[in-house]
Amino acid sequence: MPLRARRRRHAVLAGLAALATAAVLSAAPPASAADTWTETGSDRADPLTESQGLTSVEVPAGSPNRYTGIGTIPIGVSSRGWNHVGDPDASYDGHYVEPYQRDDGAAKMFRVQAPGGGWSEYVHALGAGEAPNNSWVAIAPDGQWMLAGEWGTMSRLLVFPTPGVNPDTSPAANLPQVSTVVLDHPVRDVQGCDFTGPTRLLCSSDDPAGTLFGVTKPLLQIDLSAEPGTADVTGHVTALRRLPLRSGCSGTFEAEGVDYDRRTGTLRVIVLSPGFCLLTDSRTYRFTRG
- pLDDT tens for 182-195 read 999 999 999 999 99
Confidence of residue 290 (pLDDT cuts 50, 70, 90): confident
Distance CA 30, CA 240 (A): 5
Give the Cα-Cα-Cα angle 287, 288, 290 (nearest 5 degrees).
125
- Residue 288: CB atoms within 10 Å: 14
H or E element at residue 279? helix 277-280
Express each pLDDT in 225-270 by its tens digit.
Answer: 999 999 999 999 999 999 999 999 999 999 999 999 999 999 999 9
> What distances in angstroms separate CA 233 from CA 105, 156, 180, 258, 270, one per listed residue?
27, 10, 7, 22, 28
What's residue 105's pLDDT?
84
Q: Are 260 and 194 in contact (CB under 8 A)?
A: yes
Q: What is the pTM of this model?
A: 0.89
186 to 9, 98, 152, 213: CA distances (angstroms): 26, 25, 10, 10
Spatial contact of 97 and 110, defined as CB atoms under 8 Å apart? yes
Rounded to whole angstroms, how far apart are CA atoms 244 and 217? 9
Q: Which domains are present in the chain?
A: 3-289 (2.120.10)
Sheet architecture: strand order including 266-272: 37-44, 283-289, 266-272, 254-261
Terminal alpha carbon distance of the chain? 31
Q: Mind listing the pLDDT tens digit for each residue in 79-121? A: 999 999 999 999 999 999 999 999 988 999 999 999 999 999 9
- CA distance linking residue 279 with residue 17, whole number of Å: 8
Q: SS3 of 11, please? A: helix
Q: Is the distance from CB of 126 to CB of 132 less than 8 angstroms?
A: yes
